[in-house]
Structure 1
């Protein structure tokens, strides 16, 4: 039996959208040339590119939930072009240049699709701020600026009144602005991409796969009310790849949590005094991510949890505690908005690896996967899914060579209970170290 996603129903991005059209479920026995499991950024990109390579093939895209309810619709709404966090620390400059090329290719693909299909997802080329509060954050920010210079990428320092005029708060001492990232409404983007798939892609939602087996040269996927047989299976399932029997003991399920406000009214917007539509990530990795959306919502994200049972690891009481922590972070930055409530608090599960390595490639005869985005799923999911379809179709390119060069095998994890003890201790220690940046 495969352990399924168990996401909460509290995601603000999803709740702010109109109800989605009901999609068909897997019902009865099906045969397909290709089956793609997972309809997030990776799975959608896989299916779209396969349809381009094989326009007469029957391609099934299957998700256990509704499109937009999984991790791809729950992130903070950044599409980041630069190597992110630990990837930026890689000692090989060419390695980082390859990641940069891959991320920017993903952004170009998304721009084309959004314009072609007129997808309303608050897409904007606004860049990104990297912010620091205290001395620890300032030191990390100096290091980030040095890495940008080594990478040859433009960035500039913003501080004092210029920074508070953007953020509406003087809480941050300094930020570095980089121009290449985009902001968007993730649930709206994922849903828009799914609603505009090629005609030979059939989509099944709310159709969990319960088991997988091999029958001769074909793979049989068994659901609650039907099955699918295919010679070629492509997994855009990230952390859930291990539930199908591959990459076991190599992926760590981590959930990040965010909260946001309702849209500020006119009086509150005047009190706030900053700009709309910006995003800030912390110079210190465990610090606070902050967003102001186009429609005037402030979002705070700064909590990480190890979730070996995915959503089952999170109780309502834990979610309420997390919202209180987010409330404290919100009021520290915007005390003048004390009357503004946090309306939604949600989590999203993603995969990281101990060696911060993404997996990309073939797992078995007729089985391909891209997994473990290490927290940067929008760009990486799009490009890895696109190129995975190329790999399965036998289509070579310099970009395929790039992604094969920068990916590898995630490191093996120690067994439980040592794994859980280690991960939880590391998260707690990182939070303590970064307390000045929260």
Structure 2
């Protein structure tokens, strides 16, 4: 890359902290570092023109897990682990709302609903375990979280009763990321987009970083790339592609709130009188373990089929856009926030809960130093 003396001097010299990834985690990490070390030189490197993973691609659910999802988590995690996961999500959402303000991110607590297909056992299991889950979560909310309500949205091919969570909210993802970015730039942190970190090597008191554009050294390196973490040899994180579509505006779209289906593997909501619908990774876990930002026919067909048969059975609609995001998942749902070596740290594996826990993981990452 053809860099001038000024560019090298102003952006790539005497860098104290370099953060890889300008998503929710990276930006919150930068803000926390600036708070702790006001005079430090902080640089964020972002591989995309916009944050490339999931931070600007997600559905904007301010959620902490549907009833069937929490029940499923208890099959692979202890009760205390699940309690701590939910607590971290709630704490993270509170931090996000405090940091940016509800008006700026268009936070609305319209409640969350869960549809249950008639072809599996999730409905019966959720009914039978609702009380024990409410008891588990009572210390966090001081009242019951999950209940059941009649299906007043005219959804078809599902049970007539929907799971309901009064505490679930929604945000405008674009407004959240734009305001976070403005906060970070306003604090004096620099962001370089279209810069992919290819490799790094460590000395006693610095890290040499090679991107596809330039090389430089930094005192500390903080990795916040989540779904792309495996590219930097963090093997506990696997990429998980999420495919999303959105319809053109629909007149009198009566759907309000956030909606889950099939243990949270499908999710939809009304945004600007359009139906945003995503998911389907469970149709092909291995195939969706990729960082390719493309769609597949199988999943797109399934999303459209569910729209026609279940969600909007009596409503004509046209698809306006389709896109994909890349999440970071692993065998456990607890995020990885740790020191990797003397001068390298990471905050990754958000497990599809980036809106909920991203702010907190970013803060925890900065606090490792």
Q: Same fold (TM over 0.5)?
A: yes
- Equivalence map 1:213-252=2 (5 Å): 213-245=201-233, 247-248=234-235, 250-252=236-238
Q: How many equivalent residue pairs?
A: 347
Query: Alignment partner for residue 77 of structure 1, among 51, 54, 60?
Result: 60
- Alignment CA distance shift 1:151-1:209 (3 Å): same
For 1:56, the equivalent position in structure 2 comes to 39
TM-score (normalizing by structure 1)? 0.72
Query: Alignment partner for residue 310 of structure 1, among 275, 291, 300?
Result: 291
- Alignment CA distance shift 1:124-1:68 (3 Å): farther
For 2:17, the equivalent position in structure 1 comes to 34
1:159 aligns with 2:140: no
Contact 2:241 2:326 in 1 (8 A): yes
For 1:322, the equivalent position in structure 2 comes to 299
Distance (whole Å) between structure 1 residues aligned to residue 222 and residue 75 of structure 2: 31
How far did 1:26 drift?
Answer: 11
How far did 1:349 drift?
Answer: 1.6
For 2:92, the equivalent position in structure 1 comes to 106
For 2:194, the equivalent position in structure 1 comes to 206
TM-score (normalizing by structure 2)? 0.84
Contact 1:130 1:141 in 2 (8 A): no
For 1:196, the equivalent position in structure 2 comes to 183
1:131 aligns with 2:115: yes
Query: Alignment partner for residue 360 of structure 1, among 314, 337, 342?
Result: 337
Of Structure 1 and Structure 2, the greater helix share is in: 1
Distance (whole Å) between structure 2 residues aligned to residue 190 and residue 88 of structure 1: 32
Segments of 5+ residues of structure 2 without an aligned counterpart are 1-6
RMSD: 2.8
Following TM superposition, where does structure 1 have runs of at least 4 consecutive aligned residues deviating by more than 6 angstroms?
A: 24-28
Query: Alignment partner for residue 173 of structure 2, among 186, 190, 200?
Result: 186
How far did 1:217 drift?
Answer: 1.9
Distance (whole Å) between structure 2 residues aligned to residue 179 and residue 25 of structure 1: 52
How far did 1:144 drift?
Answer: 5.2
Query: Alignment partner for residue 45 of structure 1, among 9, 20, 28?
Result: 28
Contact 2:202 2:343 in 1 (8 A): no
- Alignment CA distance shift 1:144-1:370 (3 Å): farther
1:337 aligns with 2:315: yes
Partner SS, residue 391 of structure 1:
coil
For 2:259, the equivalent position in structure 1 comes to 280
How far did 1:341 drift?
Answer: 0.6
Partner SS, residue 207 of structure 1:
coil
Contact 2:53 2:228 in 1 (8 A): no
